[in-house]
Amino acid sequence: MIFHVLTIFPEFFQGPFDHGVVARGRNAGLLGIRIHNLRDWTSDRHKTVDDRPFGGGEGMVLKAGPLFEAVESIWPQRRPDQRVILLSAQGRVLDQAAAERLGAASELLLICGRYEGVDERVAEHLADEELSIGDYVLSGGELAAAVVVDVVARRLPGVLGNQDSAARESFAGGDGILDCPQYTRPAEFRGWKVPEALLGGNHAGIERWRRQAALEKTRRLRPDLLRNQDE
Ligand code: SAM
């Protein structure tokens, strides 16, 4: 899969994709990341990407023109599996199911808004969807784009190594509950002991403990995930 990111701060992405799982996926040729500078699609001397809002009010709004021209030049003949996503606090909130749906595309182009936001004609006539990473307002779409790339990339076939298989992760599997608590050495730290069930080699006992502990933690921290659970 190829991720395109359209931003006025391309330098923001020096780093976030150079470590861990995403970097491994890139190095293995399983995914590509292309960062595009929106100012490359301006025609004036100042490379203007924003303007004042019609109707008055605070701040500036990203203009539609450079965004349309950027997408149309990156994908002159856009296919249905090349999806344009506008990062927006007003979008549908990203979750694991959305990440899987996005992962079915061959290419994603993530538009990072700034200032007061983006001319609404981009949401209406250019983007396939508006996507939020949570009910709060960020200063720009760049952090959100980095989150989307990470979440979608780690679900792509082959990107996760065996050691960090996605099957057990929170929100995964058929039941969508939280992952079980994990411990590592030492078996006792400042008087706090690792649960006895994890210390022996009884695999069935370990599995039972993990399932119960995952349910208990989900009940305590995210009871909403248990709504349709058959415990
Ligand atoms: N005026 C907008 C509003 O109240 O909905 C907020 C604009 S925000 C300061 C600037 C940009 O940050 C947005 O255009 C969007 O690209 C990005 N952004 C802010 N919050 C976001 C969120 N929760 N998820 C994804 N992107 C977000």
Digit-coded pLDDT (tens) for 59-80: 999 999 999 999 999 999 999 9
Residues with CB under 6 A from ligand 1: 87-90, 112-114, 116-118, 132-134, 136-141, 144
Q: What integer is the mean pLDDT of 104-110?
A: 98
Ligand 1 pocket test, pick from 138, 143, 147, 151 with the greatest ligand atom count within 8 Å of Cβ, gives 138
Could you tell me the distance, in angstroms and rounded to a whole number, from the CA of residue 183 to the centre of ligand 1?
37
Domains, the chain, in order of start with CATH, read 2-153 (3.40.1280.10), 170-230 (1.10.1270.20)
Model confidence at 231: pLDDT above 70: no
Q: List the structure tokens of 12.
A: 């923001």
Model confidence at 182: pLDDT above 80: yes
Ligand 1, atom 13, residue with closest C-alpha:
113
The reported pTM is 0.96
Could you tell me the distance, in angstroms and rounded to a whole number, from the CA of residue 11 to the centre of ligand 1?
19
229 pLDDT band, cuts 50/70/90, is low
Chain center to CA of 176: 18
Handedness of CA 70, 97, 33, 20 (dihedral sign): positive
Q: Using an 8 Å Cβ cutoff, are 138 and 186 in contact?
A: no
Model confidence at 99: pLDDT above 60: yes
What pLDDT is stored for residue 13 in this prediction?
A: 97
The ligand 1 atom at the shortest distance from the C-alpha of residue 62 is: 14
83 Rama class: left (phi>0) / alpha (psi -120 to 50) / beta: beta
Digit-coded pLDDT (tens) for 3-35: 999 999 999 999 999 999 999 999 999 999 999
Spatial distance between the Cα atoms of 173 and 160, rounded to a whole number of angstroms: 16
Digit-coded pLDDT (tens) for 30-65: 999 999 999 999 999 999 999 999 999 999 999 999
Angle between helices 142-153 and 20-27 (to 10 degrees): 70
Ligand 1 pocket test, pick from 87, 121, 136, 142 with the greatest ligand atom count within 8 Å of Cβ, gives 87
Model confidence at 123: pLDDT above 80: yes
Digit-coded pLDDT (tens) for 184-210: 999 999 999 999 999 999 999 999 999
